[in-house]
Amino acid sequence: MPRPLHLHHAFAFLLVASACQRAPTPSSSLGATGIPPRRAPAFPAGWRLPAGEAAAFGEHFMIASNERRASDAGNEIIRAGGNAVDAAVAVGFALAVTYPVAGNVGGGGFMVIRMADGRAAAIDYREMAPLASSRDMYLDAQGNPTNESIVGYRASGVPGAVAGMAEALSKYGTMPLARVMEPAIRLARDGFTVDSSLSRSLTASRDYLTRFDAKDVFYTEGQALALGTTFKQPALARTLQLIADQGPKAFYGGEVGDSLVAAMQRGGGIITRQDLLNYKAEWRTPIRSTYRGYSLFTMPPASSGGITITETLNMLETWDTLPAFGSAAYAHVLASAYQRAFIDRNSKLADPKFVAVPIDQLTSKAYARALARTIDLTKKTPTPPNGSQIADGMHTTHYSVVDDKGNAVATTTTLNNGYGSAVYLKNVGFFMNDEMDDFATAPGKPNMFGLVQFEANAIAPGKRMLSAMSPSIVLDQKGELLLVVGAAGGPRIITATSQVILNVIDHRMNLSDAMRAPRLHHQALPDTLFYETGGLTQSAQDSLRVIGHGLRFIGASANVNAVMRVRGGWEGVSEPRSGGTGGTSAR
Ligand code: DON
């Protein structure tokens, strides 16, 4: 069989990478800011997001989210004297109004906080399986998963967003809930102008959403809200006002909750009043790790994000210097590390209340060294075969906030699928999540994201479904806040978030380039190396195929929003892949 000419180059690359695998040493040459100088990256010819674009800059503070008016809500709060937590909660509620595809009160999320005084915290407001749920509730008579975990009234877990945001605010914020909710209430009550991103999103989801009550609010005669319309949401404004006036109990026991439960009963859902009363946001200890002398604060279970990122970076740290960005060797090393970390993720991680998660072992440097030694630089290691496929979608939302005192908040929140279960509660004005699909609804079989998960993450009443959400905060080698980052994109949240971190730390890119750089993804199963279309040179592709990678090309990999410290202030970048309308707000 003819062998491609570049074969020897591929091996040479990979062997060079091998020679570099030694114990980590923190890099020296810090600039005056504690941030090593940035380097211009070389992206493949034809890559659609050119390097060298400017980021948004703020001398005092920066907010990066998927929607500018939501970021502006946080801006207003910081200008009024609030801190990053006040602002984050303002952004969260505003996203529920202006970014209904993922912003929510009917879903859940995770928030990592790092205060300028050094305190760090993580809050888990993930949805919980209702009491009436059961392990096999989404299986048909043949034992195959149905789509009831994705669409309709039975797909929802008990929402955590309101409890989580209120709890974060009460512990780390400085303002009353009613104050930080003001911008969101205004946006819902007085309306906001429908932009092309909302109009397009609704058009794309028309078939999904018009089967339930959203058809009367987001569509007129079957057509999505038109560009330029002022969109008012009186029912949502009223819900938000009740929460502002009465606190989370309006949602978890009061009028809003009663309306939610009544709608569930009408539609065949299983969330009860008792489920709402039982719901609590949980404070967790952040996963704290180091990478080449930088410190990371990430999200522990019920999210897999922090452990999977930490495990991956710990493996990569065994290379003194990683292979060059864009090389086959780099893609191979990265994909192999992700593959190993996802194998652990998919089998060992779950709600810690139900499953003993070996966090210390999985995040230890010694464990990562042992795993890294199993990476063969001349050959890809197979994951046992399985028919899973991955699905596109970026319907979660991450926002990063740094205030004028250096407090930082990373929050990721979701309804899971875009517009969640498609169930819109018209009396209270919000969409319900379909987070139940994040459980292993059929252990060993792929879910909506092609993730193959096992018994640890099976459904049980009161359990939180495993997430990939990865809100993360990075400090530089001097312990100063450097980067606040996280993403939407199902399992690709983990790979995209960690690649932005690698682009900043290893490849010394500035934030704009770090966000624009082509991304890859591997999640163990399907056993495929995914790469963004146009993001890998032909010769790197050929080399990867030679060593056994099944390569597949995908559209946008994930949706990241990040803030990074630079000389004299903060840079913010909202995901350049999502139309680039700019979701930053700063001063
Ligand atoms: O928690 C999780 O991991 C998922 N529910 C996130 C879903 C997501 O990012 C949707 N976009 N593809």
C-alpha 243/C-alpha 231 separation (Å) is 21
Average pLDDT over residues 324-328: 97
Asked if residue 110 lies in contact with residue 92, where contact means CB atoms within 8 angstroms, the answer is no
Q: pTM (2 decimals)?
A: 0.94
Backbone angles phi, psi at 168, to 5 degrees: -60, -45
pLDDT tops 50 at residue 419? yes
Mind listing the pLDDT tens digit for each residue in 75-115? 999 999 999 999 999 999 999 999 999 999 999 999 999 99
Crossing angle of the two packed helices 255-267 and 234-246, in degrees rounded to 10? 130
DSSP state of 119: -
What per-residue confidence (pLDDT) applies to 9? 41
Q: Please compute, for residue 76, the number of CA atoms within 13 A of its CA located in the half-sphere on the CB side.
A: 17
Tell me if residue 285 is catalytic. Answer: no
- The amino acid that residue 407 corresponds to is N
Mind listing the pLDDT tens digit for each residue in 518-551? 999 999 988 999 999 999 999 999 999 999 999 9
Asked if residue 109 lies in contact with residue 125, where contact means CB atoms within 8 angstroms, the answer is yes
Ligand 1 midpoint to CA 485 (Å): 16
For residue 360, the SS3 value is: helix
β-strands 62-64, 230-231: how paired? unpaired
List the residue whose alpha carbon is closest to atom 5 of ligand 1. Answer: 416
What per-residue confidence (pLDDT) applies to 19? 37
CA angle 172–501–528, rounded 5-degree value: 120
Q: Would the CA dihedral through 123, 74, 428, 205 be positive or negative?
A: negative
Average pLDDT over residues 320-341: 98
Closest residue by Cα to residue 554 from 507, 498, 503, 489: 489
Least confident of 15-19, 259-263, 440-444: 15-19
Ligand 1 midpoint to CA 414 (Å): 7
Say which residue the tokens 């609804």 belong to. Answer: 441
Atom of ligand 1 nearest to the CA of 438: 5
Bigger pLDDT: 457 vs 383: 457
Ligand 1 is surrounded, with C-beta below 6 A, by 393-396, 414, 416, 435, 438, 467-469, 488-490, 493
Asked if residue 273 lies in contact with residue 258, where contact means CB atoms within 8 angstroms, the answer is yes
Going by pLDDT thresholds of 50, 70 and 90, the confidence category of residue 571 is very high
Mind listing the pLDDT tens digit for each residue in 19-75? 344 444 444 455 557 789 999 999 999 899 999 999 999 999 999 999 999 999 999
List the residue whose alpha carbon is closest to atom 2 of ligand 1. Answer: 467
Counting residues of the chain whose pLDDT is more than 70, the rounded percentage is: 92
C-alpha 398/C-alpha 561 separation (Å) is 6
Mind listing the pLDDT tens digit for each residue in 492-501? 999 999 999 9
For residue 109, the SS3 value is: strand
Say which residue the tokens 């890559």 belong to. Answer: 47
Ligand 1 midpoint to CA 491 (Å): 7
Mind listing the pLDDT tens digit for each residue in 271-300? 999 999 999 999 999 999 999 999 999 999
For a ligand 1 pocket test, name from 308, 436, 469, 554 the mutation site with the most ligand atoms within 8 angstroms of its C-beta: 469
* Cβ-proximal residues to 391 (8 Å cutoff; 6+ apart), any chain: 448, 449, 450, 490
β-strands 529-532, 551-554: how paired? parallel
CA distances from 531 to 128, 305, 331, 552, 576 (A): 33, 20, 9, 6, 17
Atom of ligand 1 nearest to the CA of 487: 9
Catalytic residue among 308, 312, 396, 497: 396
What per-residue confidence (pLDDT) applies to 446? 85
Supply the mean pLDDT for the chain: 93
Ligand 1 midpoint to CA 569 (Å): 31
Asked if residue 72 lies in contact with residue 161, where contact means CB atoms within 8 angstroms, the answer is no
Q: Quick one: tokens of 40? A: 């211009």
For a ligand 1 pocket test, name from 414, 436, 457 the mutation site with the most ligand atoms within 8 angstroms of its C-beta: 414
Closest residue by Cα to residue 397 from 379, 380, 410, 383: 410
Going by pLDDT thresholds of 50, 70 and 90, the confidence category of residue 557 is confident
pLDDT tops 70 at residue 248? yes
Atom of ligand 1 nearest to the CA of 304: 3
